[in-house]
Amino acid sequence: MIEPRETPDETVETAVDAVGVPDSAAAADDAAVAVTDPVAVEASLAGSVSVLEREGDRLVVNIGPSHPSTHGVCRVLVELDGEIITNAEPIIGHLHRGIEKIAENRTYLQVVPLTDRLDYVGSMYANWAYCRAVERLAGIRVPERAEYIRVIVCELQRIASHMMSIGSTGADTGATTAFMYSFWQREQVVDLFEQLCGARLTYNYVRPGGVAFDIPEGWVDRCRAFIAKHPDAMLEIDRLLFGNVICRARTKGIGVLDPDDAVAWGVTGPTARGSGVDWDLRRDDPYSVYPRFDFDVPLGERGDCYDRGRVRLFECIESCRIIGQALDQLAELEPGVIKADGLPRLLAPRPGDAYDHIESARGSLGVYLVSDGSVRPYRMKVRSPAFSNLAILPMLAKGHTLSDLVVILGSLDPVFGEVDR
């Protein structure tokens, strides 16, 4: 429809003047202290949700920490010129719980529930990434059946997580119906998880050496029924949301991420693939049983919000393909073998370190573990994709309007449990 960068909203700007922003000379005194120094701005903002700071026509707005579109507890300090963003700084740490530090005082098995709380939209991923690091550290060989189950639950988790992202793209642009449609898909996945492990959000399902429980009776059929219907539902959401003329106008050409920038800033996952960065750990650094499956990696071209959203949408369809193949191959394996043999109650790996990463719904999720030979990890570090992806927000948001900020933030799909840790 129109290019956002070329059409600053003059009507609103003049309206600001008319209502009574003081002339720049009078405002210069107090504004010079306030706006240029971020510490002073923060101090002045500390008392209320948002107050007015002026430097000429410049307006400082706090989006968050409690705001419908920050996808958690993020605060974005936005500097506005009319409605155009001149600077947007994400201020993180509101959800910091010190998970990496707490892990140092727990045994290796006790850390698994903590990893659930990292990325609470995709708990299975953090479980798995941590377990892979432990298995590498302790030299545990995981039975094939457990690997298949892990692949199945993590691909289901990818669907659940992407449904959250696509749904909130709808909610951010005001299309609440698309939100409800995609959450119905997520709900079905969460029901499957509930039958599998009893939990709907923090599963604690993938454990060092295998998985917690074997697949219950009838679960495979329910899973098959879901993946048979899911691709059609995805195409319907594609028509409803990304096919809508207003949604296209709101997402196309917004927040364009250059592929070189994406690589330079360590952006991974669908956010990078939306810009055409052809990098997927499942294919490019194969782990578990992924080499046995036939699947494609959807890529975007322009790197805008539209492409990022649609890459997620088509990844869900690819996930259904993987799950279908995994269920077929799983049927030929002996049931019940879901844990490595001879696993001690308390793991105490030899001193050393290990790093392993997987492709989570947000990108490459890595866990680095150091062992000093005791039953507790000496150090744990999580390389979270959401943190790296969020870092490019100021670059993407600059020059767009306030309305676009929430769409751009949503298209990066940050989960603040993982950003702040």
Partner 1 sequence: MTFVWGLLYGVGAVVLIAGGAVIGVWWERKVSARIQMRLGPQQIGPAGSLQMIADVPKLLFKEDVLPTAADKPIFRYAPLVVFAPIAASMAVIPFWNGWAPLDSTVGILFFLAVPSIGVIGILLSGWASHNTLATIGGLRAAAQMVSYEVPRSLAVLSVVVLAGSLRPTEIMGAWQWWWVPVTFLGFVVYLVSSIAEMNRGPFDLPEAESELVAGYFADYSGMRWAVFMMAEYGAMIVAALFGAAMFFGGFNWLPGVGGLAVFIGIATVIITAIMWAKWTFPRLRQDQLMTFCWTVLTPMAIVQLVIAGVVSLWL
- Total number of residues that touch partner 1 (CB under 8 A): 48
- Residue 244 binding partner 1, by CB under 8 A: yes
Instruction: Please identify, among the stretches 54-62, 96-104, 209-217, 292-300, the one whose residues bind partner 1 according to the rule CB under 8 A.
Output: 54-62
Q: Write down the least CB distance from residue 20 to partner 1, Å.
A: 8
For 158, the 3-state DSSP assignment is helix
Whole-angstrom distance, CA of residue 398 vs CA of residue 388: 18
**60: β partners:** 79
Residues 298-317 that bind partner 1 (CB under 8 A): none
Return the number of the residue (16 or 333) whose C-beta is nearest partner 1.
16
- Residue 243 binding partner 1, by CB under 8 A: no
Cis peptide before 259 (omega within 30 of 0): no
Whole-angstrom distance, CA of residue 339 vs CA of residue 297: 31
Whole-angstrom distance, CA of residue 224 vs CA of residue 168: 26
**395: β partners:** none
From 108, 181, 203, 293, residue interacting with partner 1 (rule: CB under 8 A): 181
Instruction: Please identify, among the stretches 13-21, 198-206, 290-298, 362-370, the one whose residues bind partner 1 according to the rule CB under 8 A.
Output: 13-21
Q: Write down the least CB distance from residue 421 to partner 1, Å.
A: 26
For 253, the 3-state DSSP assignment is coil
Q: Residue 136, Cβ neighbours under 10 Å: how many?
A: 17
From 22, 93, 98, 174, residue interacting with partner 1 (rule: CB under 8 A): 174
Q: Which residues are CB-neighbours of 223 under 8 A, at least 6 positions away? A: 152, 156, 192, 323, 327
Site pattern 201..240 for partner 1 (x: CB under 8 A): ----------------------------------------
For 1, the 3-state DSSP assignment is coil
- Residue 48 binding partner 1, by CB under 8 A: yes
Return the number of the residue (15 or 264) whose C-beta is nearest partner 1.
15
For 269, the 3-state DSSP assignment is coil
- Residue 43 binding partner 1, by CB under 8 A: no
- Residue 44 binding partner 1, by CB under 8 A: no
Whole-angstrom distance, CA of residue 232 vs CA of residue 297: 19
Return the number of the residue (251 or 389) whose C-beta is nearest partner 1.
251
Instruction: Please identify, among the stretches 55-63, 88-96, 191-199, 278-286, the one whose residues bind partner 1 according to the rule CB under 8 A.
Output: 55-63
Which ranges of 238-384 would DSSP assign to H, the alpha helix?
245-251, 259-264, 270-273, 281-284, 305-330
Q: Which one, of 394, 355, 350, lies nearest residue 372 by Cα?
A: 350
Going by DSSP bridges, is the β-strand pair 84-91/206-207 parallel, antiparallel, or unpaired? unpaired
Residues 328-357 that bind partner 1 (CB under 8 A): none
Whole-angstrom distance, CA of residue 4 vs CA of residue 287: 42
From 32, 43, 246, 264, residue interacting with partner 1 (rule: CB under 8 A): 246
From 91, 109, 233, 249, residue interacting with partner 1 (rule: CB under 8 A): 249
| H or E element at residue 418 | helix 416-420
CB 334 within 8 A of CB 302: no
From 81, 83, 104, 144, residue interacting with partner 1 (rule: CB under 8 A): 83
- Residue 52 binding partner 1, by CB under 8 A: yes
- Residue 2 binding partner 1, by CB under 8 A: yes
Q: C-alpha angle with apex 260: 256 to 265, nearest 5 degrees? A: 85
- Residue 184 binding partner 1, by CB under 8 A: yes
> What is the torsion angle, in degrees rounded to the nearest 10, for the CA atoms of residue 81, residue 82, residue 88 and residue 91?
110
From 118, 247, 257, 412, residue interacting with partner 1 (rule: CB under 8 A): 247
Whole-angstrom distance, CA of residue 211 vs CA of residue 44: 50
- Residue 68 binding partner 1, by CB under 8 A: yes
Site pattern 374..413 for partner 1 (x: CB under 8 A): ---------------------------xxxxxx-------
Whole-angstrom distance, CA of residue 33 vs CA of residue 30: 6
- Residue 182 binding partner 1, by CB under 8 A: no
From 69, 107, 195, 202, residue interacting with partner 1 (rule: CB under 8 A): 69
The secondary structure of residue 8, as a DSSP letter, is -
Instruction: Please identify, among the stretches 50-58, 103-111, 214-222, 352-360, the one whose residues bind partner 1 according to the rule CB under 8 A.
Output: 50-58
- Interaction site with partner 1 (CB under 8 A): 1-2, 4, 7-9, 11-12, 15-16, 19, 48-52, 59-62, 67-69, 83, 170-178, 180-181, 184, 241, 244, 246-247, 249-250, 401-406
